[in-house]
Amino acid sequence: MKHMAIGDLVYHNLLQCDLIQICLYTAYCAYHAVPLAKRPETRWLAYLGAKTGSAADRLILEAVGLLNDISVAAQYAEEYVVVHPGLYLSILEKGKY
C-alpha cells in the first residue's frame, strides 16, 4: 500500500485544509516539545518573522515573550515591524510582549 502525504491528499481533493497553517502548527508543537534551554530561538524567530497571518503573529508574540529580555524583544520587533506590527506595538504601548 502506498502512503500519501498530506499534500497529496489535498491535491487529490481528499482533504481540505490550509497547508501553511498545518506547517505553522507543526513547527509550534515541535518547538514546545524541546526543553526551553535547548530551543533554537534565533532560527524560530527568523522563520516566524517571515511568515504572515494571525497564527504567525500569535506565535512570534509568544516566542519573543519567552526570551524574557525587553531589549532583545525590541530588536526583533524593529526587525519584523513590517510583517508583524502588532509585536512592535505591543512592546511600545503595553511594555509587554
Q: What is the mean pLDDT of residues 70-78?
A: 83
Would you report the helix, strand and coil content of the chain in percent, each value rounded to 5? Answer: 70, 0, 30
Q: What is the pTM of this model?
A: 0.56
Q: Can you tell me the distance from the alpha carbon of 74 to that of 76, in angstroms, rounded to the nearest whole number?
A: 5
- By residue range, what is the domain housing residue 35? 6-94
Q: Can you tell me the distance from the alpha carbon of 22 to that of 28, in angstroms, rounded to the nearest whole number?
A: 10
pLDDT band for 96, please (50, 70, 90 cuts).
low
Kindly report which listed range (3-7, 38-42, 66-70) carries the lowest average pLDDT score: 38-42
Is residue 78 domain-resident? yes
Is residue 1 domain-resident? no
38-44: long-range contacts at Cβ-Cβ below 8 A with a sequence spacing of 24 or more?
39/66, 41/66, 41/67
The model's pLDDT over 10-37, given as tens digits with 9 standing for 90+, comes to 888 988 988 888 888 888 888 778 776 6
Is residue 59 domain-resident? yes
Look at residue 66 and give its three-state secondary structure: helix
Is residue 49 domain-resident? yes
Is residue 72 domain-resident? yes
